[in-house]
Amino acid sequence: MKIMVAVKRVVDYAVKIRVKPDKTGVVTQNVKMSMNPFCEIALEEALRIRESGLASEVVAVSIGPSQCVETLRTGLAMGANRGIHVESTASLYPLSVAKIFRKLVEIEKPDLLILGKQAIDDDCNQTGQMIAGLLNWPQGTFASKVVLDKEKQVATVDREVDDGIETVCLNLPAVITTDLRLNQPRYATLPNIMKAKSKPIKKFTPEELNVEIISDLEIVQVTEPPKRKAGVIVSSVDELIDKLKNEANVI
């Protein structure tokens, strides 16, 4: 069984985001970039499946500028067997990414495709669903548990939904997107970081895959959220009640 995992390069979760002065996006120059945290969870799950003997190969895929190779090297150091980099400097929206994945799936023929439930830069939460739609594959999104039955070629996925856990059964090949509680991703060890340097990364361009990067979507502007007003410390319960009644008008 072959597992393909999507790993997106995003601004590191710990970075304080700054909006560009011209409001066209956020500043990414000289900013720490990392693998999207939900993609780390996706890769960890694929590695655990391989380590349990149910899969033989894990292929990490990243789409974007040349620096995505760094993200792929991190994935290879975590344990992926090989990487695929589709190089593009264009603005990539989920549908374009999904179309690229459809082509890669045609080439690589994985049995399972695991993605993060969302990328923390665009918060779209669309790519996995779009890939499943384009490929006409079943999907198990927001996975908090994955159990594979290799013989029956079925994946049982617990999904985190608003009112609890929903369990779905998917015939393979299928798309799974990962939620936060699925697992705790491993850190890459130094020997594995060294080993990752010699693991292969195949390169494509969207043109070579016959995918035109176009979008019906236009970002009008990006602005910072309004600043929160400073709080006040009240000296008594009576003062608190007075403020809630007469200033906040909530009671």
Work out which of 79, 94, 138, 206 binds ligand AMP, going by CB under 6 A: 94
The maximal CA–CA distance of the chain, rounded, in angstroms, is 70
Nearest to 84 by CA among 174, 169, 7: 7
- As measured in angstroms, the least distance from the Cβ of 63 to ligand AMP is 4
Residue nearest to ligand AMP (CB): 116
- Sole binder of ligand AMP in the list 75, 79, 110, 116 (CB under 6 A): 116
Measured CA to CA, the distance from residue 57 to residue 148 in angstroms comes to: 15
For position 87 contacting ligand AMP by CB under 6 A, the verdict is no
CB atoms within 10 A of CB 237: 8
| Rounded-to-10 torsion of CA 31, 62, 193, 107 | -170
Q: Which of 59, 97, 112, 182 binds ligand AMP (CB under 6 A)?
A: 97
Distance CA 62, CA 87 (A): 8
Stretch that binds ligand AMP, among 25-33, 56-64, 72-80, 158-166 (CB under 6 A): 56-64
CB atoms under 10 Å from CB of 14, counted, come to 7
Q: Which is nearer to ligand AMP, 92 or 196 (CB)?
A: 92
Question: What does DSSP assign to residue 65?
Answer: S
Residue 3's H or E segment, with its range, is strand 2-6
Of 76, 140, 64, give the one whose Cα is nearest residue 100.
Answer: 64
28 is a site residue for ligand AMP (CB under 6 A)? no
The residue (of 142 and 158) whose beta carbon lies closer to ligand AMP is 142
CB of 86 to ligand AMP, least distance (A): 8
209 binds ligand AMP (CB under 6 A): no
Query: Could you give the 3-state DSSP secondary structure of residue 161?
Result: strand
Site for ligand AMP in 124-143 (CB under 6 A): 124-128
**Residue 150 Cβ, how far from ligand AMP at the closest point, in Å?**
24
CA gap 205, 203 in Å, rounded: 7
Interface with ligand AMP includes 84 (CB under 6 A)? no
The terminus-to-terminus CA distance of the chain in angstroms comes to: 60
Task: Answer yes or no whether residue 43 interacts with ligand AMP by CB under 6 A.
Answer: no
Binding flag, residue 8, ligand AMP (CB under 6 A):
yes
By the criterion CB under 6 A, which residues form the site for ligand AMP? 6-8, 36, 38-39, 42, 61-64, 92, 94, 97, 115-116, 118-119, 122, 124-128
